[in-house]
Amino acid sequence: SDLEADLLTVDTVGAYLLARPQLAGPVDPATIVSVVEVGDGNLNLVFIVTDAAGNGVVVKQSLPHVRVDPTWPLTRERAKREAVVLAAHEAVDAAHVPAFYGFDEASLALSIEDLSDHAVWRNELNAGRLHTYAAVELGTYVGAIGFATSVFGTPGPERRRRIAEATNPELSEITEDLVFTEPYVDHEHNGWLPANEDDVRDLRTDRVFVREIGLAKQRFQEDHQSLVHGDLHTGSVFVRSEGSSVRAFDSEFGTYAPTGFDLGAVWANLIIAAARASALGREADAEALLALPVELIAAFEEEFTRRWPDRVDPRVYGDDVLAVTLRRIRSDAAIYAAAKAVRRIVGFSKVADIQTLPEHERAIAARRVLLTARTLGVARLIDPDPRRLTQLTREPLLT
């Protein structure tokens, strides 16, 4: 179709970079020896291009539809949104994102660092390799971005301009629908095993929990606390043990939203990974994974607090404001973890962690994730301390 006419292919990416050497990063476009398409997410084309010297670059182009569902049209402009988020995050914390080489507005393609020496964290977790150091690195990343893009890190007028630049209506609507609404209503995107029928019914009839999900959705829509990654699940994280390198990629859902949204995404996917490990009888792994949200949030708070002396307007932003802010983010992280966990069990975009389990184990793991989500969502109202919440979720999750 016309919409697809200018899409790159493995046969055209070489000429594309030859005509635009400024987008080739470290690659010499005159000596390209291989182009492979490796996109395995829900949305985009992703090419890895390598030259004769072994240098690589990733070219990522948005498709005009959802990759895994071509009947679902989607704005290609999302590539521009990712460029804005990645550039902003790289400026604050280059160690935790891929290097950004450039954005081609005409082709809606980004050129970014080739991280082929890393592995996707979800795939590693599913193979039983935990990379536990990643939780602290991600906490530090969210702490750095969460502070620098908040009212404490960016002066008011500049911040308002940045909020406007990073508005992401179409992809934010997907999050609003898929994370906060569809799992709680009848919708063709949903699905679960017959053995989980009662678990889903119990979740949906838990009025306090559903109210908290509604309030969490409201805050996601109206609160511009910081420039979040927006989709920080374990499939959006590259890990490499050597040198403990951890990079958050795929930030096309990024926008200004509650900071706890990113922490919650990591937390949810750790719960899911722990449920898988436990269902497979890997109890020590499950315990190790369940300990990581505490480390994640501690690292977040440490980085946020480390930057606090540099805040804008300390005249009114005293240390009591910091304490209230961190408590609120803890509470947000728990309800967003709950929402993100439920959507992966009930709604669109299920995860390999659960889907690749044998059916009996899949039903058990799904039930445990849903119970854990309900506990997190409600117990945080009394005290959002992640250590206490982890203790409360230990039993529903592991036994």
Contact residues toward Mg ion (CB under 5 A) are: 41, 250
Shortest Å, Cβ 44 to Mg ion: 8
Shortest Å, Cβ 390 to ligand SR1: 24
One-character DSSP codes across 122-177? HHHHHTT---THHHHHHHHHHHHHHHHTSTTTS-HHHHHHHHHHT--HHHHHHHII
Instruction: Look at residue 349 and give the partner it binds from Mg ion, ligand SR1, none, a contact being a CB closer than 5 to 8 Å depending on partner kind.
Output: ligand SR1
Contacts 24+ apart (CB under 8 A), 317-322: 317/152
Map the footprint of ligand SR1 across residues 261-300, applying CB under 6 A.
Answer: none
Nearer to Mg ion, 180 or 304 (CB): 180
Whether the Cβ atoms of residue 270 and residue 132 lie closer than 8 Å to each other? no
Interaction of residue 231 with ligand SR1, rule CB under 6 A: yes
Q: From 123-131, 171-179, 213-221, 282-290, give the range in contact with ligand SR1 by CB under 6 A.
A: 171-179
- Write b or e for each residue in 20-31: b if 16 or more Cβ atoms lie within 10 A of its Cβ, otherwise e: beebbbebebee
Interaction of residue 42 with ligand SR1, rule CB under 6 A: yes
Map the footprint of ligand SR1 across residues 52-81, applying CB under 6 A.
Answer: 66
- Among residues 7, 119, 163, 178, the one that binds ligand SR1 under rule CB under 6 A: 178
Interaction of residue 174 with ligand SR1, rule CB under 6 A: yes
Q: From 6-14, 172-180, 271-279, 284-292, give the range in contact with ligand SR1 by CB under 6 A.
A: 172-180
Report the distance separating Cα 334 and Cα 260, nearest Å.
Answer: 8
At 135, list the tokens: 């939780």
Whether the Cβ atoms of residue 147 and residue 159 lie closer than 8 Å to each other? no
Nearer to ligand SR1, 78 or 307 (CB): 78
Shortest Å, Cβ 202 to ligand SR1: 24
Binding mask 339-378 for ligand SR1 (x = CB under 6 A): ---------xx-----------------------------
Residue type, 108: L
Report the distance separating Cα 242 and Cα 286, nearest Å.
Answer: 23
Instruction: Look at residue 178 and give the partner it binds from ligand SR1, Mg ion, none, a contact being a CB closer than 5 to 8 Å depending on partner kind.
Output: ligand SR1
Instruction: Look at residue 200 and give the partner it binds from Mg ion, ligand SR1, none, a contact being a CB closer than 5 to 8 Å depending on partner kind.
Output: none
Nearer to ligand SR1, 171 or 333 (CB): 171
Residue whose token pair is 């635009």? 20
Report the distance separating Cα 218 and Cα 34, nearest Å.
Answer: 47
Q: Residues 165, 171, 177, 178: is their CA dihedral positive or negative?
A: negative
Shortest Å, Cβ 42 to Mg ion: 6
Cα of first residue to Cα of last residue in the chain, in angstroms, is: 52
**Chain positions contacting ligand SR1, by CB under 6 A:** 42-43, 66, 174-175, 178, 231, 253, 348-349
